Amino acid sequence: MGLKSILGFVKIEHTLFSLPFVFIGAWVAGEPTVIQLTWILIAAIGARGLAMALNRIIDRDIDAKNPRTSSRHLANGDMSLKTAWSLCAIFLGMLLIGAWQLNTVALAMSWLPVLAFVIYPYTKRVTWACHLWLGLCLGLAPAGAWLGIVGDDLGWAAITELHWYPTIFWICLGVMFWIAAFDLNYALMDIENDQKNGIQSFPARFGEHHTLRTSVQFTLLWFACFAIANPIDGITFLGAALSMCIINIGVIIGQQRLADFQNIFFYTSVVTGWVLLGGLMAA
């Protein structure tokens, strides 16, 4: 299997969601070196690839029943299960090696995101809160990057003495609501299929109207979280968050009038993280 197929299997473009918040976590920790950022990037790519590969493996039967996802590599037989598990091992190795090169605390805590990734695919089978769990998975990204920097000096005190609160805590919570707001709208494409196959997505259970309203509420919540965190005590980060909050809400509310809402909202959501990173670094 070629590189292009592997990148398509793990949806490499979705790495753009978590990457700016990985850098935000590292930036909040202090002044990371190029070497530290390199290992953080390797660990982040490994974590993202592992999460997607596990999701594809666990959901392969569900994907096969959904016309929108039936062409995915495992669902249509283009990739063997053995190959998919081999990719999981490679991505897990990237995560562990990256964490190990940063500090022992980061390595010791690497089980946490892996556990979250394994649990996520099963949550959609039992609860509409699966969207929040997905948000939690990506919300661990800034915390992991932060720990990759401060864990070298502070050791376990970085966790036990609550150095992560309040700034990192509120940033991670903000990422959780941000991803959940996106995923609520992403799930709109599969309402009928989810209802038919017993997938407990929010849109399948509560309908489009409540999905729109809740995604707007989640958007306001992620802005509130970033405003509380405001890691630079200035207006640039807060202004970036406010502007992207307004743009996101505008796209959500206007979705019925947008010919290609899903793609527009995808790119709007991707840009959000990078604008926040820019606001942080511009201070």
pLDDT 10s per residue in the chain (283 long)?
666 666 677 677 777 778 999 999 999 999 899 999 999 999 999 999 999 999 999 999 999 999 888 988 888 888 889 999 999 999 999 999 999 999 999 999 999 999 999 999 999 999 999 999 999 999 999 999 999 999 999 999 999 999 999 999 999 999 999 999 999 999 999 999 999 888 999 999 999 999 999 999 999 999 999 999 988 877 999 999 999 999 999 999 999 898 899 999 999 999 999 999 999 998 7
Tokens describing residue 16: 């753009």
What pTM was computed for the model? 0.94
Alpha helices in the chain (DSSP H): 3-9, 15-29, 34-58, 60-65, 81-102, 104-108, 111-123, 130-154, 157-160, 167-186, 191-197, 202-229, 235-253, 261-281
pLDDT of residue 208: 94
pLDDT of residue 2: 66
Gap between the Cα atoms of 112 and 104, Å rounded: 14
Instruction: Give CATH for domain 8-281.
Output: 1.10.357.140
pLDDT of residue 69: 87
Give first-to-last CA distance, the chain, whole Å.
45
Question: Cβ atoms within 10 A of the Cβ of 226, count?
Answer: 27
Q: Where are the domains of the chain?
A: 8-281
pLDDT of residue 113: 97
